[in-house]
Each structure stands twice: as C-alpha cells, then as structure tokens.
A and B are shown apart, each in its own frame.
Chain A
Amino acid sequence: MPDWSIKIEGKPAVFTPDIDGTKPGTPLKVVQGDIVSWNNMTQQGHWPVPDDRNAYGSFSAMPVDPDQSSTAYNVVAPAGTTISYHCYCHPEERGQIVVVEFGQ
C-alpha cells in the first residue's frame, strides 16, 4: 500500500500532500494500511496531532523539527473515516486525512 508525505509550508503553516500539482491545503486521501509522514519545510517546529487523540493516537512521539520529517504514521482507520488534525504548537494550522476504499 502507498506511502505519503505531507508538506508543512508557510507561516502560518499549511499542510499539503507532496504530490505534484496538488493545491495547498488539499486533504490527503489514503486507504487503510497506508503510511503518512510530515515534511517540515519551515523554520519552526510543528507537531501535527489528531483532533481526536483517543481515536487515532499520536502521529509522532515528538514535534517535527525544522528541515526534518516525522516518523511514519500507519493509518489503521477504516474507509469512511476523516482524520482531522492540527498543529499542537499552532492550533489554527489544520489539515485532514480522508480514508477511502481502495480504488476510490
């Protein structure tokens, strides 16, 4: 199953899937089993965390330093789930991971 990287760019930061031609802020579509990481391209630390940590746990154990990528988050949520997340350091910075059926 695929691996995905989400760029953290700008100030305030915007989360954008690292896929050629993708508009800033576009939600990432994944399927169950995919792996997601965050690529911090800013000069600040950021820490993407799910809005509902009881349901989805932690994406990574620590903040993503500037010019670093996060560890891998293995999506286990089933299709039909939308994982909304925000930056723990900057709560106004928000993104989404949408879990779809394979092939959708």
Chain B
Amino acid sequence: MAANLPALRARWFAGLPLGLALMAVQSGAAQAGPCLPQSQPLLKIPELVSKKGVLRGTVVLTDEQRRLIFRSPGTRPGDPGSFFDCQPQRVRAFLGLEAVPKVPPSPGGVVDPVPGPTLRARVGDIVQLTFINQIDPNRFPYSIDQGEKRALGGGSGRNPASGCDLSSPGNPQLGYPLLGGDAFPDCFHGSSTGNIHFHGSHTNPNGTGDNVLLEIRPSPRDPASRAPLIKPETFRKQFADFFKACEARLRGDVLSAYPQTWNDAPLGPWTTTGTWTNEQSKLLQAYDARTKEDLWGANKKVIDQNQWPQYYIGAYPYCFQVPQYKEATWPPPPGGLKMGQSPGTHWYHAHKHGSTAINVSNGMTGVFIIEGPYDDALNAFYGPGWTRSQPVMVINQLGVSPNLLRQPAAGGGPGPGSQDKGPDFTVNGRFQPVVDMAPGEVQMWRIANTSGRSGAFFGGFAPGLQWMQLAQDGVQLADVNYKASKNKSFLLASGNRADILVKAPLTPGIYPVLVQHEVDPSDLPSANPVVLLQVNVRANVPPAKGKRAAFIDPAPPQPPFLTNITDAEVASTINNPRVIKFASTPPGFTSTPAPGQTYAMHTINGQKFDDGKDTAIKVTLDAVEEWRIENWTFGPLISHPFHIHINPFQIVEVFNPNQTVVNAAGNTVSKYVFYDNPAPDPAQCYLNPNDPSTWKDCRNVNDPSKPRIWWDVFPIPSGTGATDAQGKPINNAQGNQIMVPGYFRMRSRFVDYAGQYVLHCHILAHEDRGMMLLVQVSAPDKKVDPTLYRHH
C-alpha cells in the first residue's frame, strides 16, 4: 500500500467487506524500474478543441514504449494475494499532434500510458481530422492482414487459420487459432491496421464519416532508416483542399454524404495525377507488389461501381458534421434533421475488425466531448467555463495480447498469463489516481468506460460523497431521472459513459470510489470491490459555497428530439419486433487441451460476421422500430453489451430470467420460477416453461409519460435453463432442457443518415471473433452504397 494513504481511508476500509484492500505495487521489475507510485493526481489528458466551428487536428497512430501494470496471479481483480509489476511494453497508441497540454515523461524518462487526445467540439461543428498510421508492425508478432491473400486462392486459402494471428507454445496444434477453432476474418488479426470509430456520434456512417469498415494500413518505411514515409505533411495540401470543400458541402447540407466516390474532387478523380485518391492507388499497388496481396484489386472493383472503397495506406481524412438540431420542437418540419447530435460525453476508439480488443487494450481510446446547450446551462449555473474545467475520466483495462493467445491451463480454463476479467482498471492511464476537491464542492465527472471487456459497477462511493447522474451515454437525462439517480449505484458496461455531479463531504480526507468488475450481474456477489480512484478533500482550501456546493436544479433541459419513442411511432413492430439473438457457446475445454477442442464461440443470429452470407439487418431510412435483443448465453453467464452505431435507443423492457429479488422476509430469492402457478412467494413470478409467451418481465412498467433514458450500449441479460422446485432441469419433448433467453426490447429512430454500419457486442474480443452484424439503412431517394462491404 502506498505510504501516503491517510488514516481516514484506512479507517473507512476497516468497515468494508473482506477482500477489499489496495494491493501492493511491486518495484524492481524484471526489465524496468519501479511502477509509478499509486495516488498520482488525475492526469489532465491533452485536448484538441474546435475553433470557429471546426475541430481540426492530426491523430497519429504509432507504436510507443509505455510502462504497463500487470497483475499476478491471474485471478480476479482485488483477490487477496494479488500484486502488481510494471514492464516496458510496446503498444499501439493514438497521439494528438496539436493537443495540449503535453504530458511530460514520468521521473526517469519513463512514459506512462496516456489516452488518446480528448476531442472537444460543439454541436454544429465540422470535424476535420487527419489520421496517420505510422505503426511499425514488425515490433509486434506478425499481424498483417492476410485476407486478400486468402482471396487469391492457393495454399493459404485452404487453411482456415491463415490470415489469423498465430500464437504457439512450441506446437501450433496447441496454439491459437488452431486450438481455439477461430477462422478468418473472425479471429484476432490485423492489429497494425487502423481506423477510428466515433462512438456515440449521430452522423454520416459512410466515406469520411464514422466509417468503421475502413482499413488504413501502416505507412511504408524507409528501408535504411525505418522511418515512416507518410507523414502528417505528406498529404497536407490535398487534405486542406478537401476539408475546405467538405465543410462547404456540409454547411450547405447537413445530410450530405459527400464524398461518395474516388472521383469526387478534390480528393479525386483517382485517374488524375496528384490527387490523393490517385496517390492512394499507387500506394496500394506498391503495397500489393511488396506483400503479394490484392488491396488494389479489391478497391478497384468497388471504385468501378462508383462506391467508396475500403483500403488505404498511411493516411486518411476524416470529415463529418456533428449535426445540430435547430428546431424548438419535435417532430421537425419535413426536409430537415430529424434528430441531431446529443451534446455530451462520447468517445472514440480503434474499430478494425479482428484487432479492436488488442488495440483498445493498448490504449487506443479517447473521449469525444460534444458541447452544446447542455454545457451552456451548466455554466450558467456553476460559472463561465466551468464545464471545461471539470475532470474527464477514461477508464480502461490496459494490456497487451488477449488471453486466448496464451495457452490454456492443462486442465482447461485460463492458462499462465491469463487474467480473469482482464487487467485492473486504470483512469487516464493511472492506477487509483487522486481527484482533488474542496470541502463541499460539486464537480462534474465525465466518465467513459473504454475498456474492451469489464463493466465497472459503481456500488461503493465512500460515505460522505454524494452524486447525481446528469447523462447516460452522452445523452442528458430528463429532470425526473436525474433526481431519481441521487446516490444510486450504476453500471458502466464496456462502452458506456456517465456524466455525474459529485459532491464532496465537508471533512477533509481521502475518500475512495470503489467499483467491481462485472460482465454479468451474477459476478457481483463474489467480485471484489477495488479502488477506481480517490477523492482528496483538501484541508487547506476553504469550503465551496453557494452554487459551487449545490446540485443544479432542475437538470439542464433536454433537446426536443429526445422525446420518448411512442407506440404509434413503432407501430406494428411492437407485436412483431425484429429479433436479434446473441449467443455464446461454452468453451469446449473439459480436460487437457487437445486438437478439436474449442474456446467459446460468439455469434449473432447463429452467424459470425462477414462469413459470406448476407445477414445484414436492412432498415429503411426514417423507420422507427422496436427490436427485441435476446441473449442465448447460458453458461458461463455473460451479459453481452449490445452496441449499435449512429443512433441511440430507448429501453422499454428488460427481462432477466436470472434476476433475484428480496422478498417480504428479507430473503433473496429468484424472481422467476418455472413451477407452481402462482409462484410460491409473492415476490416471485411464474413462467410457464412450455409457453414462451410467458417469458417476459412480469412487472414491466413501460409508462409512456415517464421520460426514458437513451443508451448506445446496454447489457443483454443472460439466459437460464428451466428447473423445477428441486433444481432439476425441466425438459422438452425431445428430452433437452428448456432454455429461456434473457432479452431487452429497445426502440430507435433510424433517421437522418443512410448507409452501412454495425451492431456488435462491446466485449471486444467477442466482436473480433464474430459477434458483429451489419446494419444497412437504405434511402430510395439517396445515392447510398447498397452493397455489403466484404473483408476481401
């Protein structure tokens, strides 16, 4: 335990459950100096801030040596006996060239992790980011995309493992992916290829917008110096001309899908020497000649159909608008924006299929703050510029290769080097950092759980700390929900965000904020509370007074487009919703690993992503629909965090067949039983195992008069097997246990932007391994790419 922890915290810890303790951070690591001491001040992340309506900057994807913390043994976070070690690790990282303030190296010149630059724009702004990929792929295990090579046929095409990352303990039959059973493209691969997903953005999903189907390969390098040949200045002129044209288009038409083809000036025409698309065609052909791949061939087919291609080398210009809803009421008059971007805390991360897990774990995440009237209202209450002075918190589970690349244990389950529930959380790259507050002060914390795996269950703020939630997933809460959130525990699943107002107690001291790692609610009874961060209520500053010590009341008014989605809007889909089934099969390891045994497989509607079948969800632009998102995962229990791009959604029912309730006698019992009708306890509900129409939340209250919360990530409750009063399986006519999925029903408006995007599980190793699905939003009156993107 760090020596500088005040006694106050030690006293508070004394009253907590067993197993809760700060764990020792080892010094004297094998190849590094000691870890950065605990209790560092919360790091101020460098920011790129929009000016005059444009967020302009350069994001460089590079490889850097950073000091990472590892936990041993690989049991759960917070387990007694765990301790930490720090090692210099080469990671893939986003750098914001123009972002300020710069973060100096730690003592000794060591570089500790820093999230990607915080992007700060305002509704209505244009985003113009130059993305440069300068990763040196050779500093990592061989992970070059091979899909196109597979498409050429030959030997590699016959091997389902070809194209996947390979990891072997000396015998490929005992390594990944042969042992795990993954096949390209739904396997770990291509971690030197980059792109950016602007998570929470409501914008153009195509071309240079929030387009996650892009694959931007690293810059070629000088053979002698190894320096990347494509630099931020390489295409500066072409990109500057494009950004100017893009801004003009978007100012003229917020719904513009420009650019749509490689012939659109000034990025094209691709046949004209000197244009960026022309330069890309040359770079791709040179890349193919060097690597024997066929990126140019794949692009050319798409270009010939006047569509936007998928592959790029070294540089890419992102240009899109953060649309501002300007009407005072909703619905709007015909012809304009139907929704607009919600101002709030959004984020961005690497989203290359096959490498999202490792890239996000390396730290390729950052916060995207979109300001608007929400901020204006807060600043009017708390003082000018207040929101910009408030803490931004990027939670991540920093690490390197996923567990599956390490051999499982001889008896099955995680092997040496694996970490149950993943690495411990860090905040802004620091372990258990300290947030300074004045006594009684109210701060606004913008928290993003950018981890690729665990949810953070906030169930343990130290006594004395109070909080109220202002926003969920970057979307403001209505006042009634804001008020109901006071001091309530909450979960931030992987990908969730929350804006919370936190009020410090008047007594100076250290107050920890505790979380539990959770991928399913069933984890919580045994999950150790661990310290996420610490609040230092300072003794040497005067207490906050007036509004700086008060929770704003009422909450800032919501934009008018955040009205509840009504029954009338979703019309027939209430009784006939689209049903989307997430499912994980249990691991096939039952004994000593051997060929043919598999890790868990993750599918949606029985398919893995991009497996050659047209499984896309097809929606017509401006449709408003109700969907039922089911979880057919029965063990180990995993509440897959459902995420869909571009449009947020509202929840109208959650059915968790594993839910427990507290009965009148104070005992915790299952909410649902499959025997005795009526159920034996008034707190319980009976589900008829032979009648799926009864498998629903028996006490669901969908009160249309109460404003619902908007989400863009929501965990799908796990399923269960029906059992009788003795706990024995209830079987169907075929003799198999009746399995009951968990689900939620959601509603969303598929408005403003047509095109292709994805929905997926936000446990990113699941996404990489296939738990992703295309969503195609078509518009009869708009020219939108109708074809499915393919990996190759």
Question: Would you give the 0/1 interface string for A1-38, flagging 1 where the beta carbon is closer than 8 Å to chain B?
Answer: 11101000000000001111010000011111111010
B779 within 8 A of A: no
In the complex, are the beta carbons of A69 and B139 less than 8 A apart? Answer: yes
Among the stretches B26-34, B375-383, B452-460, the one at the interface with A is B26-34
A81 within 8 A of B: no
Residues from chain A with Cβ under 8 Å of B401 in the complex: 3, 35, 72
Cα separation A20 to B140 with both chains bound (whole Å): 15
B87 within 8 A of A: yes
The contact of B168 among A1, A41, A58, by CB within 8 Å, is A58
A76 within 8 A of B: yes
Across the interface, name the chain A residue whose C-beta is closest to B165: A72
Indicate whether A1 sits within 8 Å of B88 (C-beta atoms), given known contacts A68-B138, A76-B169. no
Cα separation A51 to B26 with both chains bound (whole Å): 33
Across the interface, name the chain B residue whose C-beta is closest to A36: B141
Question: Would you give the 0/1 interface string for B230-241, flagging 1 where the beta carbon is closer than 8 Å to chain A?
Answer: 000000000000
Nearest-neighbour CB distance to chain A for B704, whole angstroms, equals 51
A73 within 8 A of B: yes
Residues from chain B with Cβ under 8 Å of A1 in the complex: 70, 72, 74, 400, 406, 416-419
The contact of B407 among A59, A70, A74, A100, by CB within 8 Å, is A74
Residues from chain A with Cβ under 8 Å of B601 in the complex: none
Cα separation A66 to B87 with both chains bound (whole Å): 28
In the complex, are the beta carbons of B140 and A74 less than 8 A apart? Answer: no
Residues from chain A with Cβ under 8 Å of B406 in the complex: 1, 33, 35, 74
Residues from chain B with Cβ under 8 Å of A104 in the complex: 28, 30
Indicate whether A40 sits within 8 Å of B138 (C-beta atoms), given known contacts A2-B89, A56-B170, A57-B169. yes
In the complex, are the beta carbons of A32 and B226 less than 8 A apart? Answer: no
The contact of A35 among B26, B138, B170, B400, by CB within 8 Å, is B400
A103 within 8 A of B: yes
In the complex, are the beta carbons of A76 and B416 less than 8 A apart? Answer: yes
Nearest-neighbour CB distance to chain A for B481, whole angstroms, equals 42
Residues from chain B with Cβ under 8 Å of A75 in the complex: 169
Interface size on B, residues (CB 8 A): 44
Residues from chain B with Cβ under 8 Å of A39 in the complex: 138-139
Across the interface, name the chain A residue whose C-beta is closest to B73: A102
Nearest-neighbour CB distance to chain B for A103, whole angstroms, equals 4
Cα separation A2 to B28 with both chains bound (whole Å): 16
Across the interface, name the chain B residue whose C-beta is closest to A75: B169
In the complex, are the beta carbons of A74 and B168 less than 8 A apart? Answer: yes
In the complex, are the beta carbons of B88 and A20 less than 8 A apart? Answer: yes
In the complex, are the beta carbons of B141 and A35 less than 8 A apart? Answer: yes
Cα separation A79 to B166 with both chains bound (whole Å): 24
Across the interface, name the chain B residue whose C-beta is closest to A3: B400
Name which of B28, B170, B415, B416 has the most chain A CB atoms within 10 A of its CB. Answer: B170
Across the interface, name the chain A residue whose C-beta is closest to B65: A20
A67 within 8 A of B: yes
In the complex, are the beta carbons of A69 and B30 less than 8 A apart? Answer: no
B137 within 8 A of A: yes
In the complex, are the beta carbons of A2 and B72 less than 8 A apart? Answer: no
In the complex, are the beta carbons of A69 and B87 less than 8 A apart? Answer: no
Indicate whether A35 sits within 8 Å of B88 (C-beta atoms), given known contacts A2-B68, A18-B139, A74-B168. no
In the complex, are the beta carbons of B87 and A2 less than 8 A apart? Answer: yes
Cα separation A100 to B87 with both chains bound (whole Å): 13
The contact of A5 among B26, B140, B170, B416, by CB within 8 Å, is B140
Residues from chain A with Cβ under 8 Å of B371 in the complex: none
B171 within 8 A of A: yes
Cα separation A28 to B32 with both chains bound (whole Å): 12
Across the interface, name the chain B residue whose C-beta is closest to A5: B139
Residues from chain A with Cβ under 8 Å of B70 in the complex: 1-2, 102
Cα separation A11 to B565 with both chains bound (whole Å): 69
A71 within 8 A of B: yes
Residues from chain B with Cβ under 8 Å of A2 in the complex: 68, 70, 87, 89, 400
Question: Would you give the 0/1 interface string for A41-59, flagging 1 where the beta carbon is closer than 8 Å to chain B?
Answer: 1000000001001001111
Indicate whether A73 sits within 8 Å of B170 (C-beta atoms), given known contacts A34-B417, A35-B405, A35-B406. yes
Chain A, 77-104, CB within 8 A of any chain B CB: 100, 102-104
The contact of A68 among B28, B31, B90, B142, by CB within 8 Å, is B142
Across the interface, name the chain B residue whose C-beta is closest to A32: B416
Residues from chain B with Cβ under 8 Å of A103 in the complex: 26, 28-30, 72, 83, 85
Residues from chain A with Cβ under 8 Å of B88 in the complex: 19-20
Residues from chain A with Cβ under 8 Å of B72 in the complex: 1, 31, 102-103
Cα separation A40 to B141 with both chains bound (whole Å): 11
In the complex, are the beta carbons of A69 and B407 less than 8 A apart? Answer: no
Cα separation A57 to B407 with both chains bound (whole Å): 14
B266 within 8 A of A: no
Indicate whether A35 sits within 8 Å of B167 (C-beta atoms), given known contacts A2-B70, A2-B400. yes
Chain B, 160-190, CB within 8 A of any chain A CB: 165-172, 175
Residues from chain B with Cβ under 8 Å of A74 in the complex: 167-169, 175, 405-407, 417
Chain B, 655-675, CB within 8 A of any chain A CB: none
Across the interface, name the chain A residue whose C-beta is closest to B83: A103
Cα separation A19 to B67 with both chains bound (whole Å): 11
Nearest-neighbour CB distance to chain B for A6, whole angstroms, equals 10
Residues from chain A with Cβ under 8 Å of B226 in the complex: 41
Across the interface, name the chain B residue whose C-beta is closest to A20: B65
Residues from chain A with Cβ under 8 Å of B166 in the complex: 61, 71-72
In the complex, are the beta carbons of A72 and B405 less than 8 A apart? Answer: yes
Residues from chain B with Cβ under 8 Å of A100 in the complex: 30
Question: Would you give the 0/1 interface string for B413-448, flagging 1 where the beta carbon is closer than 8 Å to chain A?
Answer: 001111100000000000000000000000000000
The contact of A69 among B140, B170, B415, by CB within 8 Å, is B140
Cα separation A28 to B30 with both chains bound (whole Å): 9
The contact of B415 among A33, A57, A60, by CB within 8 Å, is A33
In the complex, are the beta carbons of A17 and B169 less than 8 A apart? Answer: no
Nearest-neighbour CB distance to chain A for B159, whole angstroms, equals 12
In the complex, are the beta carbons of A70 and B141 less than 8 A apart? Answer: yes
Residues from chain B with Cβ under 8 Å of A57 in the complex: 168-171
Cα separation A61 to B31 with both chains bound (whole Å): 28
Residues from chain A with Cβ under 8 Å of B141 in the complex: 3, 5, 35, 37, 69-72
Nearest-neighbour CB distance to chain A for B279, whole angstroms, equals 23
Indicate whether A29 sits within 8 Å of B30 (C-beta atoms), given known contacts A35-B401, A74-B406, A74-B407. yes
Indicate whether A76 sits within 8 Å of B170 (C-beta atoms), given known contacts A3-B89, A18-B139. yes
Residues from chain B with Cβ under 8 Å of A60 in the complex: 168
Cα separation A41 to B171 with both chains bound (whole Å): 25
Chain B, 107-141, CB within 8 A of any chain A CB: 137-141
Nearest-neighbour CB distance to chain B for A11, whole angstroms, equals 15
Indicate whether A29 sits within 8 Å of B169 (C-beta atoms), given known contacts A1-B406, A2-B87, A5-B139. no
Cα separation A50 to B172 with both chains bound (whole Å): 15
The contact of B142 among A31, A41, A69, by CB within 8 Å, is A69
Q: Could you give 15 example pairs across A and B, Cβ below 8 Å?
A: A1-B70, A1-B406, A2-B70, A3-B90, A5-B90, A5-B141, A17-B31, A18-B139, A31-B72, A31-B417, A33-B415, A37-B140, A74-B169, A76-B415, A103-B85
Which 6 A-B pairs rank lowest in CB-CB distance, beginning with the nearest?
A: A33-B417, A57-B170, A1-B417, A33-B416, A72-B141, A37-B141
Given contacts A2-B400, A5-B90, A74-B167, 5 further A-B contacts (CB under 8 A): A3-B401, A5-B138, A59-B170, A74-B406, A76-B416
